[in-house]
Structure formats: C-alpha cells, structure tokens
C-alpha cells in the first residue's frame, strides 16, 4: 500500500462519508445487539445455575403425615446418598391489610427457630432471623406484589387455620423460588413459634433432603429409600428437575430465540454492507481502470478496497464492541432480577466470547465484501473505462424489450430495475431479509398475545373460591343462587394427584412453590361453561362418564405422555385409581390439571362433595360478595380470588418475552430501514448522469422523478413478494421452537406488522428515491453530464 493510495483511500472515504457513516451505524447497531444478547445469555445461563445452587435447593421434599424427632432427622442425614436434611413446613394463606382480603395468596414457609438454614436456604436482607412469634419476613419481590412494607401489620389466614395478626419484621431474598412478580403471589417466612397463633399444628411435616447427584433417577431412588426408612406415613415425594430453576426452560427459550434474532440481524447488516459496498465499488470502477492503466496490479486494487472495508468494520466494531458490553451487563441484571429474582454475582464473560464478537465485527463485513471486491479487482481497463452500467442482452431485458403497449416511462423504470442484476438481487434480498425478520418477530409477538387471549378465553371464571372443608355441591350452588351479577355458579372439587406405581410412595415433580411441576385432578360438571378448552384429540367429559379423564397435552404420567384410549393409574392421597383417557386438551396457563366428572371422582374416593366454587359474573367485588354469601350460609372459605389474579399470572410469565421480542423488532426495523434508504438512494445517485441525458433530450424533471420513483416502487414491490415465503417459514420455525421450549403458542399472523412493513417499504422507497431524484432533476444538463 503506497502512501498515495492511502491518501486516495482516506479522501474517497471522506467524499462518501454519509454512506460510510450509515454502514458503520448499521453494523455497529447489529453488533451491539448481537454481542449484548450473547453476553446476556452467557451471564444469565451461568448465574441462574450458580444462584439457584447457592440456595442449596432440596433435591427432594418428602411430605409427611406427622413429623420426625431430632434423632430420626440425624439418622436421615446418614442415609446413603444424602448430603443434608432439614424439617420444614409450609401452608397457603391469604392476608389483608385493611378490611378485605388481598387477591394475592401468601405461600408461607415455616422453620424451627434453631434451624441452621443449610438446606433450601435464603438470605435475610433486612430484619433478624428467626422472627418473633408475631413476626413474618417477606420475600423481597413479594413486597411490591403485595403492596406492603417492613413494619406493616397484616392479618394472615392459613388454609385450615385461623386469622392472626403478624408484623412484617424483615425481608429475605430467596432466589430458589420462581419470582413472586411472575407468579402473582407472596412468599412469607415464619418460625414454628408463629404456627400456634395461626391455628396450625407446630409440626414440621416436610423433610427436605439434598443429594450429591444431579441425576434424576438417583435422586428419586435416594428419596424413596429415605421415605421407606421413616416411621411416619409418607404422603408424597416431590422431586423437581435436579439443579434446574423453575424458570430455567423459559429463560433458555427466550435467550436462544433472542440470540438467533441477534445473529440474523448481524447477517442482515452484513448484507447491507455488501449492498452498499457494491454500489460504492461500482462508482469506483472507472478509477480502478485508471489505476490499472497507470500500472496497478489487481492485488493492489483489491488491497486498497479491502483496507477500506476493514476501516469501516473497525470503526463499527469500535462502536459496537464496547456498547455491547455496556448494554449486556445491565440487560442481564434486569432479566435476572425481573425474570428470576436473582442477583448477578459477576458479569464477566469468557475472553473467547469477546474474541468472537471482535472477529465477527471485523471479519463478517470483509467476508461479505469479498465477492464484489474480487470482481472489481478483476475488471479490465477496457471494461472499467467503458463502464456505464448498460445491460447487454440479459434475458429480463430482452423480455422487457418485447413488452408492447406499456407507458414509455413505466417501461423505462422496469428496464432500469434490471440494469444491474447483482444490485437488484442484493437490494431485494436486503429488504426481504429485513421484512422477514421484522414480520417474523411481530408474528411471534402476536402469537404470544394470542396465548394470553386464549388463556383468558379458556377460563370464563370471574371468581374462584376455595373452601376450608368439602361440602355438597348442591348446597353450595344454592347458597349463591341469588348472588347479584352472577350468571353461573359451579361447584368443583380439586385435589393433588400423582402417577401411581404399585407398592411405591407417590412421586411428583413439584417445586417447593407447589405450583411449578405440580399436577392436580379437578372434578367438573361435564356441562361446565366455565371452561372452553381446545381439544387436541378425543372428546370432552360426558355426564355418564365414570372413569373418563381428560388430560393436558404436555402432561406426563409416570414419565410417559398418555394418548386417547390409554388407561392411566393415578394416586389420590395414596389410593390408586384407574382412568380411561378420553380426551387431550391444550390448556396453557392453569396449573397442570386433569379433568374428570364429579361422578367419576365419587367412584374413586367415595366422596361426591366439592371444595371449590367457580362464579361467572363480570362485576367488581363479586369474589368478596360470593365469599360473604357462602360464609353466611355456614361454609368456611379459605380463599376467594378474582380472575384478575389469573390474568396477572399470565402477564407475569410472558411480559419479559413480549418486551424482548418488541425490542428485537425495533432493532430489525431500524437496520431494515437503513438498508432500504441506502439501497434506493444509491441507485438514484449512480445515475445522475443519465438524468442529465434525459433532461438534455427534453424530458421534464417531473417525468424523470416519476421514472425514478416508479423504479423504486417496483423494487419495493418485488421485495414484498419475495418476503412472503421466508417470513412464513421463519414464523413457523419460531412458533414450533418456542412451543417446544416455552409455552404452546397459537399460530397468529400480525397483519399490523405486514401493513407497517409494506407501507414503510413503499413509502420509504418513494421518499428515498424522491429526494435524490429531486436533487438530480434540479441539476443543469452540464452539471449532470460532468457528474462522475
């Protein structure tokens, strides 16, 4: 590289600085997005495991019908495979600060005051542990959800207990649980001293053990072994997925999807660079001819422009690399905090990833530029000096040449479009790529919204009341017969259930929050109008069904997914009952539930009473009114939840995904629009000379502008047609991947995205061509002809 060539290079860069700046911005934005996502994925993936394991989560929870004495507990710790053991208890409660009960339940965990908190532990952030007998500590995210603060006094009523007043004496951080904000519930922490006040037996009826192995089968076998050695009856063993945070799968799905979009947007900006470079080189071709005429070898020419691309790539990397780090850190902290309730201990990333980002930023533009670069370097002096972009008998031109009866301006615009096939393909590819990603992202967003809509439509319940004791269904519905605003009342019975294995204790996959991984059986009237569950296979319950069951499509029983016609054996409080699968439904958000008829449950348990009442009636306060009516009729009510809480749970699980996908769509739209503007304006700039010729032969400026704008519109239309197929494919792939790893998404098309993109492309094409065309139309013939 001679000094003069370097001087030429720098001056060329300066003379095209607007375009160079656009290239730098486009690659810079994409590199920032890609690297920030890459780092976030690495940080969150590492921290989620570290943070979850730091709580030393119980590998298994064994629910007892009673408790153990200290000697027995010590004995458990010596069992083969067991590394730790602790006795705990927990109960569901509701609470209030004023006159009315909060719609958010308060799941409360109880500990012996002298518990060393080595197993399934938490960090006390404010206040002292253990709390006094009238004190309770709350999980830090739960404070916001419940709208309370330290020092407040709340009335807590446990299910099966009595209301008692407790003071919030501190805050704990428990990253082992799904965040309270996602689950729309609170987590409380009390010592066993508080249990008596709450009308509960002070028994610690949950044995939590830790097992060194992370292998599920080993954990289950150790837990069963421990359970078999205990002198009390074991109700159930709960083994959540070992070492896995309850939201791990959801997080992985979000991060892999985002990373895929990040990589695609990077590829898109590389394509943009190739397009812009192609046009830049195209304008440089006559100069390449001169360089060769005065003695420059092809290698030197390629080297010159390679350095130009490298300079652009370096500048973009210099922008994108630090920005990626700057954004990745707070973004991973935000996700960790909001989605996982975790504190990020370290935002460090392996040096290999920094190297990968640097290499991507520096090399991807060069790789994308290689083909046009080498082609430009190979141009002969004659080709270069003759270069005017005129087509030479390409098939499209010949075909267009045969078109008759078309307006001459329209024909000229159509022919112009095909003048440089390579440029046309790049421009259409770029616009179609951006359109595909943009509509793909917004279609996914629509699918997620559809999921929320479906979830709302599936449950036409406005209030759900849980009873303290089972009661005859008829009595319950009669008690609510005159409830103002109620259009329908149904009495249900719900109970936890597990797959049954002969001679073995029931084993569930439930997490300590008793929500994630849990499985319950609900007896509902077959003619229920409270549920509108889409059936994937088979049929819904009939009044005469006694052994029929409808399962969720993702429900496993003893490790297998049952099909219609199968018989499944479920354990109801230790009693095995066989059911015939008659239908498979695809309910999304409710706790995993299997539906049977009241007659069926009566057959299985010998008890046809109900323990839940579902009320429909869209009136504020209907849940509280229903509770008052039931209490007045002599029933005990444990909780009365309006449907708004269900909506809060749904929102809590998808809002992060919606936020992330929206952000992606914005970035992709930005890169796409930069591409659109640069592609269109370049094609006009390149032909300023031609406009001069048109003026010289007497074409009016307005007619020139019309030709140019028409050409831009043709390219835009072609790109829209090309976008359709890949956008459909991307949407389908995203939906299937997310359905597999996150939640089963409905197929939705965002018409808004299509209208926005089509409108933006057509309007963008008009504006991007109109401005330079207007400038060109104002040039004098002499100026235009002198334009190099």
Partner 1 sequence: MNAIAVRAATKTYGQVTALDAVDVEIAPGEFVGIVGRSGSGKTTLLNILAGIDRPTSGEVVVAGTAVQQLSESDLAEWRGRTVGLVFQFFQLLPTLTVLENVLLPMDFAGRIPARARRDRALDLLARFGIDDQAGKFPAMLSGGQQQRAAIARALANDPPVLLADEPTGNLDSATGTAVLELFAELNDEGRTIVVVTHERDIAKYVARQVSLVDGRVAVDR
Could you give the CA distance from residue 219 to residue 244 in angstroms, rounded to a whole number?
Answer: 13
Shortest reach from residue 352's CB to partner 1, in Å: 39
* Largest interatomic CA distance in the chain: 106
Q: Which two tokens stand for residue 357?
A: 């980002």
**Binding of partner 1 by 298 (CB under 8 A):** yes
For 619, other C-beta atoms within 10 Å of its C-beta total: 15
Beta-strand pair 567-572/498-499: antiparallel
Beta-strand pair 535-538/548-552: unpaired
**Binding of partner 1 by 12 (CB under 8 A):** yes
- 194, 257, 277, 291: which one binds partner 1 (CB under 8 A): 291
**Binding of partner 1 by 311 (CB under 8 A):** no
Size, binding site for partner 1 by CB under 8 A: 29
Q: Identify residues 617-646 at the interface with partner 1 (CB under 8 A).
A: none
Q: Identify residues 547-566 at the interface with partner 1 (CB under 8 A).
A: none
Please check whether residue 626 is in contact with residue 466, taking contact to mean a CB–CB distance below 8 angstroms: no
Which residue, 381 or 756, is less far from partner 1 as judged by CB? 381
Residue 282: which of 145, 393, 419 has the closest Cα? 419
Strands annotated E in 524-588: 535-538, 548-552, 567-572, 575-585
Using the contact rule CB under 8 A, the part of the chain among 131-139, 243-251, 293-301, 659-667 near partner 1 is 293-301
- 71, 481, 632, 788: which one binds partner 1 (CB under 8 A): 788
**Binding of partner 1 by 3 (CB under 8 A):** yes
Q: Residue 767: CA atoms inside 13 Å, Cβ hemisphere, count?
A: 10
Which residue, 302 or 709, is less far from partner 1 as judged by CB? 302
Q: Which residues of 111-133 are buried (b: 16+ CB within 10 A; e: fewer)?
A: bbeebebebbbbebeebebbbeb
Shortest reach from residue 318's CB to partner 1, in Å: 24
Which residue, 10 or 763, is less far from partner 1 as judged by CB? 10
H or E, element range at 733: helix 701-741
C-alpha radius of gyration, the chain, whole number = 34
Using the contact rule CB under 8 A, the part of the chain among 7-15, 129-137, 222-230, 726-734 near partner 1 is 7-15
**Binding of partner 1 by 307 (CB under 8 A):** no
Task: Return all residues near 360 (Cβ < 8 A) that are at least 6 apart.
Answer: 31, 34, 266
**Binding of partner 1 by 373 (CB under 8 A):** no
Please check whether residue 438 is in contact with residue 672, taking contact to mean a CB–CB distance below 8 angstroms: yes
Shortest reach from residue 783's CB to partner 1, in Å: 12
Please check whether residue 587 is in contact with residue 606, taking contact to mean a CB–CB distance below 8 angstroms: no
- Collapse the DSSP code of 360 into the 3-class scheme (helix H, G, I; strand E, B; otherwise coil) and give the result: helix
To 10 degrees, the CA torsion angle through 270, 273, 275, 281? -140
Which residue, 147 or 299, is less far from partner 1 as judged by CB? 299
Using the contact rule CB under 8 A, the part of the chain among 2-10, 324-332, 394-402, 637-645 near partner 1 is 2-10
**Binding of partner 1 by 74 (CB under 8 A):** no
Q: What helix, strand, coil percent values describe the chain, rounded to 5?
A: 55, 20, 30
Which residue, 384 or 413, is less far from partner 1 as judged by CB? 384
Using the contact rule CB under 8 A, the part of the chain among 292-300, 323-331, 559-567, 699-707 near partner 1 is 292-300
Which residue, 18 or 294, is less far from partner 1 as judged by CB? 294
**Binding of partner 1 by 287 (CB under 8 A):** yes
In terms of DSSP H, where are the helices of 418-468? 421-458
Shortest reach from residue 405's CB to partner 1, in Å: 31
Which residue, 300 or 449, is less far from partner 1 as judged by CB? 300
**Binding of partner 1 by 382 (CB under 8 A):** yes
Please check whether residue 599 is in contact with residue 545, taking contact to mean a CB–CB distance below 8 angstroms: yes
**Binding of partner 1 by 7 (CB under 8 A):** yes
Beta-strand pair 135-139/164-173: parallel
**Binding of partner 1 by 6 (CB under 8 A):** no
- 356, 381, 658, 762: which one binds partner 1 (CB under 8 A): 381
Using the contact rule CB under 8 A, the part of the chain among 101-109, 374-382, 486-494, 505-513 near partner 1 is 374-382
Cα–Cα distances in angstroms (integers) from residue 87 to residues 175, 225, 395, in the given order: 20, 17, 81
Could you give the CA distance from residue 517 to residue 514 in angstroms, rounded to a whole number?
Answer: 8
What secondary structure does DSSP assign to 315-357, as a single string? HHHHHHHHHHHHHHHHHHHHHHHHHH----S-----HHHHHHH
- 131, 289, 499, 617: which one binds partner 1 (CB under 8 A): 289
Which residue, 4 or 481, is less far from partner 1 as judged by CB? 4
Using the contact rule CB under 8 A, the part of the chain among 30-38, 141-149, 381-389, 626-634 near partner 1 is 381-389
Burial of 711 (0-12, 13-18, 19+ CB in 10 A): buried
Which residue, 58 or 302, is less far from partner 1 as judged by CB? 302
- 19, 41, 292, 329: which one binds partner 1 (CB under 8 A): 292
Q: Identify residues 267-286 at the interface with partner 1 (CB under 8 A).
A: 286
**Binding of partner 1 by 18 (CB under 8 A):** no
Please check whether residue 605 is in contact with residue 575, taking contact to mean a CB–CB distance below 8 angstroms: yes
Which residue, 281 or 568, is less far from partner 1 as judged by CB? 281
- 71, 294, 481, 697: which one binds partner 1 (CB under 8 A): 294
Write down the residue that tokens 């972009």 correspond to: 389
**Binding of partner 1 by 780 (CB under 8 A):** no
- 159, 300, 449, 628: which one binds partner 1 (CB under 8 A): 300
- 233, 297, 398, 575: which one binds partner 1 (CB under 8 A): 297
CA 289 to chain centre: 53
**Binding of partner 1 by 784 (CB under 8 A):** no
Could you give the CA distance from residue 183 to residue 621 in angstroms, rounded to a whole number?
Answer: 22
What is the number of residues in the chain?
788
**Binding of partner 1 by 395 (CB under 8 A):** no
Which residue, 692 or 744, is less far from partner 1 as judged by CB? 692
Residue ranges in contact with partner 1 by CB under 8 A: 2-5, 7-8, 11-12, 15, 286-287, 289-300, 378, 380-382, 385, 788
């Amino acid at each position: 590289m001679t000094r003069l060539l370097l001087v030429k290079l720098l001056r060329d860069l300066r003379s095209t600085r607007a375009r160079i700046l656009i290239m730098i911005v486009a690659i810079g934005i994409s590199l920032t997005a890609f690297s920030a996502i890459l780092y976030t994925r690495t940080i969150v993936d590492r921290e989620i495991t570290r943070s979850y394991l730091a709580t030393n989560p119980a590998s298994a929870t064994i629910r007892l019908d009673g408790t153990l004495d200290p000697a027995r507990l010590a004995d458990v710790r010596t069992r083969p495979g067991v590394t730790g053991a602790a006795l705990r208890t927990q109960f569901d409660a509701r609470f209030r600060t004023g006159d009315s009960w909060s719609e958010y339940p308060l799941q409360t965990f109880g500990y012996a005051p002298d518990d060393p908190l080595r197993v399934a532990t938490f960090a006390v952030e404010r206040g002292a542990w253990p709390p006094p007998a009238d004190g309770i500590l709350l999980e830090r995210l739960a404070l916001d959800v419940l709208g309370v603060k330290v020092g407040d006094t709340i009335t807590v009523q446990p299910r099966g207990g009595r209301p008692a007043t407790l003071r919030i004496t501190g805050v704990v951080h428990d990253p082992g649980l799904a965040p309270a904000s996602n689950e729309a519930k609170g987590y409380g922490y009390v010592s066993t001293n508080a249990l008596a006040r709450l009308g509960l037996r002070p028994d610690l009826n949950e044995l939590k053990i830790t097992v060194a192995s992370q292998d599920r089968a080993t954990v289950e076998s150790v837990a069963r072994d421990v359970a078999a050695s205990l002198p009390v009856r074991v109700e159930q063993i709960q083994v959540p997925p070992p070492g896995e945070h309850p939201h791990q799968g959801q997080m992985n799905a979000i991060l892999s999807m985002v990373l895929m979009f990040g990589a695609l947007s990077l590829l898109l900006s590389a394509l943009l660079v190739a397009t812009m470079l192609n046009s830049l080189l195209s304008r440089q071709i006559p100069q390449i001819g001169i360089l060769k005429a005065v003695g420059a070898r092809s290698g030197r020419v390629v080297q010159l422009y390679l350095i130009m691309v490298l300079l652009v790539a370096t500048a973009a990397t210099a922008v994108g690399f630090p920005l990626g780090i700057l954004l990745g850190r707070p973004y991973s902290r935000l996700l960790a905090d909001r989605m996982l309730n975790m504190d990020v201990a370290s935002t460090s990333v392996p040096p290999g990833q920094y190297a990968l980002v640097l290499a991507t930023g520096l090399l991807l533009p060069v790789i994308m530029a290689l083909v046009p670069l080498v082609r430009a370097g190979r141009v002969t002096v004659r080709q270069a000096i003759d270069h005017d972009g005129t087509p030479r008998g390409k098939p499209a031109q010949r075909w267009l040449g045969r078109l008759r009866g078309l307006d001459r301006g329209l024909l000229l615009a159509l022919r112009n479009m095909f003048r440089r096939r390579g440029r046309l393909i790049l421009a259409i590819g770029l616009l179609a790529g951006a359109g595909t990603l943009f509509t793909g992202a917004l279609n996914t967003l629509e699918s997620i919204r559809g999921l929320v809509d479906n979830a709302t439509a599936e449950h036409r319940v406005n209030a759900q009341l849980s009873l303290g004791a089972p009661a005859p269904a008829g009595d319950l519905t009669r008690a609510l017969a005159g409830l103002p605003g109620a259009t329908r009342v149904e009495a249900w019975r719900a109970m936890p259930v597990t797959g049954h294995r002969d001679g073995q204790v029931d084993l569930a996959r439930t997490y300590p929050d008793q929500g994630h991984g849990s499985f319950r059986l609900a007896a509902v009237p077959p003619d229920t109008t409270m549920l509108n569950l889409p059936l994937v296979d088979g049929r819904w319950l009939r009044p005469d069904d006694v052994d029929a069951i409808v399962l969720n499509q993702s429900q496993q029983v003893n490790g297998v997914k049952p099909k219609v016609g199968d018989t499944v054996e479920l354990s109801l409080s230790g009693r095995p009952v066989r059911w015939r699968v008659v239908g498979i439904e695809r309910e999304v958000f409710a706790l995993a539930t299997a539906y049977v008829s009241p007659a069926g449950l009566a057959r299985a348990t010998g008890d046809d009473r109900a323990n839940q009442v579902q009320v429909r009636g869209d009136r504020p306060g209907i849940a509280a009114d229903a509770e008052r009516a039931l209490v007045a009729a002599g029933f005990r009510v444990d909780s009365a939840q309006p449907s708004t809480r269900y909506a809060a749970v749904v929102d809590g699980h998808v809002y992060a995904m919606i936020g992330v996908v929206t952000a992606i769509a914005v970035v992709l739209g930005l890169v796409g629009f930069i591409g659109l503007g640069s592609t269109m304006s370049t094609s006009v700039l390149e032909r300023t000379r031609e406009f001069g010729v048109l003026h010289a032969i007497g074409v009016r400026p307005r007619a020139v502008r019309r030709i140019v704008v028409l050409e831009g519109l043709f390219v835009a239309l072609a790109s829209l047609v090309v976008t359709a197929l890949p956008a459909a494919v991307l949407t389908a792939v995203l939906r299937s991947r997310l359905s597999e790893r996150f939640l089963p998404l409905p197929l939705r098309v965002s018409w808004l995205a299509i209208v926005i993109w089509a409108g933006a492309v057509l309007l963008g094409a008009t504006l991007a061509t109109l401005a330079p065309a207007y400038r060109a139309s104002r040039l004098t013939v002499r100026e235009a002809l002198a334009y190099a």
